[in-house]
Structure 1
Amino acid sequence: MIWILYLILFILSFTLSVLGAQTWMFVTLLILFVASSSLALFYPLLWQKDAEKVKRYLLKSKQSYHRFLYAFLYEEESEAEMRLTKIKQTQARKYAEIMLFTQQERWEDVKGLLQTMKKSNLTHYYAAIVAMEEGRQKDYEQHKNQLKDPHYVTWLTVEELRRNGNKSEALSILEEQINTLGGLKLLSALHYKDKLQHKN
């Protein structure tokens, strides 16, 4: 997809130069190119409603974090652990470690990582998960209330229902949410649904 945009940029730039176009036309073309290429890169990760297309995007991606996500969601845990070691970006690696350690229920490791990270929706979400697991209700409510993303709040609500024995209601809420999601959040919700169906 990106190579097509590069080809279009080259053809249009060449045409404009032959026609003696003004500088502002080249600047406009460059801005449109940057916007289009950014959309092509981020659309599958943020808005794509077809889960299989998002899955294929992760599988084909050259980025180590994306390859980790694919392994985490669809392959053996050992493969995810191996992929994690290849992530060079510090922040991305920490996010990957938090996801993996949460799945492995390594709560002390998760808490240690969270303390080194800037506050965000993701850190509040995982801090709430740890607090829920450890029975620290006040801390749980505090982190949940600081979440700005309603999807994370829904996942916490679903987990609360599951723990209180209302599994069918939890699955119903999650199923309704899945119909509104796209990109990585869609894959995450589907992964969570699969785990939820196999939990007591």
Structure 2
Amino acid sequence: MTETQERRDPPALEIARWWLKNQDAAIPDKVFVYDLGEPSCFACGWYDDSRPTYPEVSLARAWAKSRLQRAHLTPHALGGSNHPSNYLMLCKQCHDEAPDWRDPSMMLQWAKTRVSYISRFQADLLAAWEALRPGQPLPANLIEEPSFTDALRNLLYANAGTHFGIGLKRSTIVAALAAVADDQARPVHETPDLPLHGTTEQPRK
């Protein structure tokens, strides 16, 4: 067997299945895999809601296309194996920030205490808002749910750009939040400055 074959990573679904079966014994008080049919980051719970999930596609394809990354508990360079137990499925941000350490307990403890992606997302939004609108409170009703209001979605579709490999930046979302907040505060007789995606509504008089 060649070194390439020895170092071949297991399929994402195989990793998820191992943890679903063994997570209670391996790391009490933390659930990495709730449902094989809903691929999500073991550490923060992030999932790609733009990708098809099981049963629309096979379980293997759902995990393979989930945009989650294989992360080693013990890196190969430090003697880590290619057994599913030596991997976690993480989102890109968690993978980038996870520790590279020989002792696997370090990675497990880090993943166990990782804040949820929703909390992280809201903290990023607040920081971006403060940079855009210093001293102004972010309207609470706009961030209470992870999903956006119809108005916010319309503004994003019609006015937001994305960078390849990055997607929609937090600061871009904040710009849309600011536009929605401004529109809500604008007197009814004034006309909004930004177009709304998919609407034929005439400017308000």
Which structure shows the higher helix fraction?
1
Instruction: Tell me the TM-score range normalised by the shorter chain.
Output: under 0.3
TM-score (norm 1): 0.23
| Higher RCO, 1 vs 2 (CA within 8 Å, ≥6 residues apart) | 1
TM-score (norm 2): 0.23
